[in-house]
Chain A
Amino acid sequence: VQLAYLDPGSGSVIATAIVGGAAAAGVALRSARAKVGGMFSRNKGSAEPATDDATDSSEASSPADVDS
């Protein structure tokens, strides 16, 4: 992924939301449910799988709570 200097990177923006812990991850999840879902390429235009992706993310983040 080639990203410009002052572009924070959309994936990184979501990642930093998740790094913020449970509350922040909750917001990320909520925004995904509110159909930020369109963000995910694999699921463009489909609400449900988009939510799945966001759920994957928050699942992935919970074990990491232990180690960060």
Chain B
Amino acid sequence: MAEATTEPASFRDPDTAVFYANGGVFRGLSERAASDWERVKATAFFARLMKEGAIIATEEVAADDEKAPLSPRGSTWSVVLRHERVPVVSYPYEWPFAMLREAAASHLDVLLAALDDNMSMKDGTAYNVQFFGSRPVFVDIGSFEPATGPWPGYRQLCQTMLFPLMVQAHLGVPFQPLLRGSVDGLSASDVTGMFSGLAKLRRGVLKNVTLHSMLERRVTSSSEDVKKKLTKAGYNVELAKAAARNLRKLVGRLEVGKRDSTWSDYRDTCSYSDAEALAKQRFVGEALASLGGGTVVDLGANDGAYSLLAAQHADYVVAVDGDEAVVDQLYRRLRSEGREDILPLVVNLADPSPALGWRNRERAAFSDRVRPDAVLALALVHHLAIGANIPLPEVVDWLVSFGGPLVVEFVDVDDPMAKRLLANKPSGLFDDYQRDAFEALLHKRCRVERSETLSGGTRTLYLAVPH
């Protein structure tokens, strides 16, 4: 295991850490964690959920202490596991509503199955879940421990999943900026202030928010003390199961109202004709087919029409859009079709996810996680250059920085969609936004393999390979 590197986010539990070596993903376990692993790997639920894909595929490998890196605290590992690699790592602040709800539901389903076999989990954070396309997978194998009293992950479940979902479902406030603002999520006391008046009566608020926050303020004994006393009073695994079941029911019932976002009906209102749409699909399809396989990122994916097209040619597609409502619709569609080859994410491309957490290393920036083999940027450049005032050379630099070939569309100032954007800006500010200028910038950085102007004359597509 030469040149192993420890995952920077994997330090909070001293008994386990993830590291990468030889292109593989490994997890070191301390002696204590190894004894929990011995127990969990012998259970029926673990084998079943791993087979079903609800738990990350994991196998034990020979612990080679000399080559495995030391733990972040300097000790050696007793046991080393190998995990299946997640194609593209994403974080809860990049997930639309239905995706976070699915993450919470699947986390609780794994907990319920574990409790049936007398196992529980140490924690309950949204970061325990990753996605293979639309399928949620529980990845924190180090979290399993024998079940005792109340589930210790409840507070984290609330902070990183339940409260964000409730805030969006009950108050209409999108949770993504809130989760991005704090790696630990929203505390009960933060959220209490958001639910005022009748909102306090909404589903699940009284117990999980109001009462929870009151108890957090009032109860001053140690957690261990409280746990012991509850267990002594008769709190057992059955009651932990009842709590998990109620939480699972609550999560399943949280829903957002129907939303009309700017982009949710873009496909119906966009400006180009059927003939243009067909020509565009043909260009994109042929361009992607010529590139072959790998991972494609579809920047400004909207309803995912071109992500679906890209998936015919690529192994994996990351569909990125800043509009939560359209990404939410796309996720629901992909989930209902059981698609595992398209990962939909909510990211404002003019303000993509930064590096967060301890030393800004715990959660990697969007640009460090998404390293595609090819980039789709259709009807995007004008939004960045005109809508977000980003200088055109910077837009091209940024597209090239992904490293792979680009399939990019330039929309002229005469196009109705570009005109609409320009109408909101003082005139004369975007005189440099011209097709000639864009082509010059592209040629400077790339070899343009093919290009085609659609029949309307205002939209041009390019397949460009960076030098």
Contacts and interface: CB of A to CB of B under 8 A. Distances in A.
B193 interface: no
A58 to B, nearest CB: 10
25 contacts: A6-B123, A7-B223, A8-B150, A8-B151, A10-B219, A11-B218, A12-B154, A12-B155, A12-B212, A13-B150, A13-B223, A15-B188, A18-B207, A19-B208, A20-B243, A27-B233, A27-B235, A31-B233, A40-B219, A40-B220, A41-B218, A44-B220, A53-B218, A60-B206, A64-B207
B325 to A, nearest CB: 26
A63 B208 contact: no
Contacts of A40: 218-220
Contacts of A18: 207, 211
B341 to A, nearest CB: 34
B207 A39 contact: no
Interface of B: 12-13, 122-123, 149-155, 158, 187-189, 201-208, 210-212, 214-223, 225-227, 229-230, 232-235, 239-240, 242-243, 246-247, 249-250
A39 B154 CA distance: 19
- Looking at A1, A12, A40, A60, the one whose CB has the most chain B CB atoms below 10 A away is A12
Contact of B207 (A3, A8, A19, A27): A19
Given A1-B217, A23-B242, A14 B152 contact: no
A8 B203 CA distance: 23
A41 to B, nearest CB: 4
A63 B86 CA distance: 43
Contact of B229 (A3, A23, A34, A68): A34
Nearest to B155: A12
Nearest to A31: B233
B223 A9 contact: yes
A23 to B, nearest CB: 6
Contact of B212 (A11, A23, A44): A11
A13 to B, nearest CB: 5
A18 B227 CA distance: 13
Q: Is the interface of B mostly helix, strand, loop or mixed?
A: helix
B219 to A, nearest CB: 4
A68 B242 CA distance: 12
Given A28-B233, A31-B230, 20 more contacts: A6-B13, A8-B155, A9-B155, A11-B212, A12-B212, A13-B226, A15-B211, A19-B208, A19-B247, A20-B243, A23-B239, A27-B230, A27-B234, A30-B234, A34-B233, A36-B230, A39-B219, A40-B218, A60-B206, A67-B206
Interface string A34-65: 10101111101000000001000100110110
A39 B202 CA distance: 29
A64 B195 CA distance: 15
A13 B217 contact: no
Contacts of A20: 239-240, 242-243, 246
A45 B229 CA distance: 16
Contact of A15 (B203, B207, B233): B207
A40 B219 CA distance: 5
Contacts of B235: 17, 24, 27-28, 31
A39 B240 contact: no
